[in-house]
Amino acid sequence: MLTSVTIWGVLDPVARNGIFNIMPLKNLTKEDILAGLTLLSELAQKEAVTLEVSLYGGALMMLAYDARQMTKDVDAIIRPPDVGRRLAAKVAKERGWHDGWLNDDVKQFVSTVETRDSWTPPGLNAPALKITKPTAKYLLAMKVMACRKALPGYAGDEADIAFLLKKMVIKSSKDVEDIVDKYFPDTVLPAATIAVIEKLLPIVP
């Protein structure tokens, strides 16, 4: 069985639909993502379908908080999934992007007790998309659960965690643990994750 392999900053050989697609990963700007979502909406309208799009990750940090200048991909869960994936592939082809520009790999970090808000990114006109985003606390919990280190060409989660800690004026690792426990009950954060949080807390005024 083929598996997904990501080599950040070089190539992204990904087994999607049983076929390896090897293309350079393009850094997506806010303007790129808005254009991609606009085209996705236009394609959905042509098929008389409304897509439910739950945005997460770096793309959300950029669109909702202006916390990034660019991202490698858009973390999103789309319903109906089959139609969403097919139309996203059309967007990729038309814009010359990697076919994983919009993907649902974030599913592994999603809670069963999600809190999301209906939302339209500023500057987006996409009537065929019903977009939601996680609350800041839920997003922080997801970022802490992932807590991936930055690598060459890959931002990781630490900068986003630091931004959210500052935005919510969180000043103790116990407060972070309580937030994580709300969305991921009975989770015991690894010592390495606690160490990252303790390292980032001093930057919070």
Task: Give me the tens of pLDDT residue by residue for the chain, a chain 205 residues long.
Answer: 333 333 233 334 333 333 334 444 678 999 999 999 999 999 999 999 999 999 999 999 999 999 999 999 999 999 999 999 999 999 999 999 999 999 999 998 899 999 999 999 999 999 999 999 999 999 999 999 999 888 777 778 999 999 999 999 999 999 999 999 999 999 999 999 999 999 999 765 5
Kind of pairing between the strands at 102-103 and 74-79: parallel
Per-domain residue ranges of the chain: 26-134, 136-205
pTM of the model: 0.83
Per-residue model confidence (pLDDT) at position 7 = 29
Scored b (16 or more CB within 10 A) or e, 161-192 reads bbbbbeeeebeebeebbebbeebbeeeebeee
